[in-house]
Structure 1
Amino acid sequence: MFATTVSSRCRPCRQPLAALLIFLSLFMAGCDETKNDLFDYVLDYERGLGQLVVDEINVAGLNITFLRSERFNPPRRSIDVDEQSAALDRENEALKDTTPREVLVLLHGFGGDKDNWVRLAAELGQQYTLIIPDLPGHGESSKDLALSYDLPQQVTRLRNFLRSLGLTNFHLAGNSMGGAIASLYAAQYPDQVETLTLFNPAGIYEVESDFIKGLGEGNNALIIGSPEEFDELIGYAMADPPFIPWPLKSVMAERAAAQQEVLEKIYADLTPEEPNYEFRDIIRNIRSPTLVLWGALDRVIAQGNAEAFTLLIPNARKFIFEDAGHMPMLERPEKSAELMTSFIVNQARVAPAPAP
């Protein structure tokens, strides 16, 4: 939901940067160019902690910007149509598999972007090759108001994106909307997803949240029309948000408000009155070992919905962060990384050995 921020609770390597930003902010009021330059500098710094670089690829006419581990430069395979194609699948299968081992694909939530994951990436270190896209309609990827952004369409686009990078087997994780997309993807392509991790996933709303109640009153707290509403947005997204020094917060607020039109379109596509699929029925088909992580203080999707995911998905387990909200990977990156790593390693130990 937001770009990364500098926390006052950070590891020692972040503390000097946080102090410098506070100092600089005293001298930079009103200087938009300097604010944006500083914001980009901090973003590059945070990406560097996770050894991530920015990349982009054109997939079926859409530009997809993504973060990847700097040690992995994937191939580019042409995808000309934004649809599932058996012919393209056969072509992919005929090519030599150059996928690195232990690939982890991370999907952000509604209104978020690829940088929602940089703190978790810094904690994961060298253990995984990371691929973190801006989903279409978000971040620096294509934003076409003529497209549909419903979950099945986003699953198809994700399939084309991963196929274009030559990725055939990977671990998959998603937050909120990204968790719903990851769930449907794992159900549809069970042979590709080695493990599935869901952070406060969307898709089931048995237990009402503050956000759902607000919708009934005509207020969508996840879409803001002015920078002044940014603090309220953060309050919904995180129970314990990291410290955001000015002027970084100012840039984040301006960029969030600028997304109003496209986010309204995406939200409308995600919430049709009569969806053409049944989310609950589909996720019953997930066969990947699944870890459901949820912040107990989530105001967007109530924590009580975690139980439905673990009951519907075979071989699923859950962990509740008692002191986190809707974005545990930002609020509690160290614990999130510990849980994910332990889960993936333990699943590898019980998985059957590959055929020689």
Structure 2
Amino acid sequence: MKKVLKITGIILLIPLTVGLIIFFFFPGILINQTNASYARAANLEQKTLMVDGYNVHYYENAASEKPVLVMLHGMGDDKSSFLQTAAYLSNHFRLILPDLAGHGDNEKKLGLDYSIGGQATFLKSFLKAKGMEHFSLIGNSMGGHTAAAYAIKYKQDVDHLILLNAPGIVLDEHVVYTGFGEKIKNKAELKTVLNRVFYQAPDLPGPIANYMIEQVNNSKEFVDGTLIPAIKNGPYFNLKEEVVNISSPTLVLWGKHDEVVKFNVAEFYRDHIPNATLQLLDKAAHSPQLEVPQEVAEAVVNFVLK
């Protein structure tokens, strides 16, 4: 009997041991597994599509009879950004969550146009290849900037537009796109960065924090050397004179504690897009889809479907 209990104990310890090894030595696997669980909860499947010789990675659910909602992540982020929000939306929409050009699993290919206008053109080509002619569009941060540019450039495509803490309006000489700056050296410096982005920054365990530091530092050269110059020097950087041409009903959805994009940008969008409303999210900052995913989803459903 003791031998059976001993063997049983060993068997029970194996997954715990494996879990600890993954946690301490391979945190990327743990993060990927977490994202996979979020994707399953939203009934999303990872897919790829070759568009003009460029392989585009994206999530999509199978709700082909539902209205289409395209969800765009921010700069340096990827298609997993909206996974938690998607879990509350998958029963209402056909969801498409693409990696934008040079982001996520998409190649950081030299010679691509990584400006906001270029991202809008990339998105148009991808959605055309998918056979998408009409859809609603939500974007956070740079994804929101891209969504606004798309609604200006291809206004006939967009049924509803949701701008989630989106830059794109230059006011008071405040520039959002400043790059990653110096490499992050330790967990304390990472926490300072997170405090700027989140209303309540998560207290990350050491292995996860170290993994995130490595990911950010590895992205620094591409973000600072390629993305930022392309955005600041490219078309649709400042939409101040053009948002009046957005014809889609627009929801400016805003985490009220955002320290990245000033609130007067939200007010400008509300006041200058002809059919726009502004809604604040109280316990959120620059990335509400990560902090209050259910509230973001409820706002989207109420705006698009009611």
Shorter-chain TM range is 0.7 to 0.9
The 5-angstrom pairing of residues 132-171 of structure 1 reads: 132-171=97-136
Q: 1:167 to 1:316 in 2, by over 3 A?
A: same
The 5-angstrom pairing of residues 175-194 of structure 1 reads: 175-194=140-159
- Report the counterpart of residue 8 of structure 2 in structure 1: none
Q: 1:180 to 1:226 in 2, by over 3 A?
A: same
- Report the counterpart of residue 197 of structure 1 in structure 2: 162
* Deviation larger for 235-244 or 294-303: 235-244
More helix as a share of residues:
2
Q: 1:125 to 1:198 in 2, by over 3 A?
A: same
Residue 62 in structure 1 maps to residue 54 in structure 2: yes
Q: 2: CA distance between counterparts of 1:63 and 1:313? A: 34
% identical aligned pairs: 31
Report the AA paired with residue 50 of structure 1.
Answer: A
Report the AA paired with residue 132 of structure 1.
Answer: L
Q: 2: CA distance between counterparts of 1:244 and 1:163? A: 40
Q: Give the TM-score normalised by the residue count of structure 2.
A: 0.85
Q: 2: CA distance between counterparts of 1:148 and 1:111? A: 16
Task: Report the structure number with the largest CA radius of gyration.
Answer: 2
* Deviation larger for 229-238 or 160-169: 229-238
Q: 1:230 to 1:139 in 2, by over 3 A?
A: farther
Which of residues 34, 44, 50 in structure 2 aligns to 1:42? 34
Q: 1:250 to 1:194 in 2, by over 3 A?
A: same
Residue 340 in structure 1 maps to residue 305 in structure 2: no
CA contact (8 A) 1:237 1:325 kept: yes
- Report the counterpart of residue 328 of structure 1 in structure 2: 288
Helix, strand or coil at the partner of 2:133: coil
Task: Note the aligned Cα RMSD (angstroms).
Answer: 2.6
- Report the counterpart of residue 126 of structure 1 in structure 2: 91
Displacement of 1:227 in angstroms is: 5.8
CA contact (8 A) 1:28 1:247 kept: no
The 5-angstrom pairing of residues 97-112 of structure 1 reads: 100-112=65-77
Q: 1:113 to 1:185 in 2, by over 3 A?
A: same
- Report the counterpart of residue 253 of structure 2 in structure 1: 293
Q: 2: CA distance between counterparts of 1:30 and 1:323? A: 29
Which of residues 218, 231, 237 in structure 2 aligns to 1:270? 231
- Report the counterpart of residue 271 of structure 2 in structure 1: 311
- Report the counterpart of residue 279 of structure 1 in structure 2: 239
Report the AA paired with residue 304 of structure 2.
Answer: I
- Report the counterpart of residue 354 of structure 1 in structure 2: none
Q: Deviations over 1:289-325 (max 9, x none)?
A: 1000111211111122211001111110001123211
Displacement of 1:29 in angstroms is: 8.5
Helix, strand or coil at the partner of 2:137: strand
- Report the counterpart of residue 248 of structure 1 in structure 2: 208
Displacement of 1:114 in angstroms is: 0.7
- Report the counterpart of residue 351 of structure 1 in structure 2: none
Q: List runs of 5+ in structure 2 lacking aligned partners.
A: 1-15
Number of aligned positions between the proteins: 288
Q: Deviations over 1:310-348 (max 9, x none)?
A: 1111110001123211011111111111111011122xx
Q: 2: CA distance between counterparts of 1:326 and 1:224? A: 21
CA contact (8 A) 1:291 1:317 kept: yes
CA contact (8 A) 1:46 1:119 kept: yes
Q: 2: CA distance between counterparts of 1:309 and 1:180? A: 11
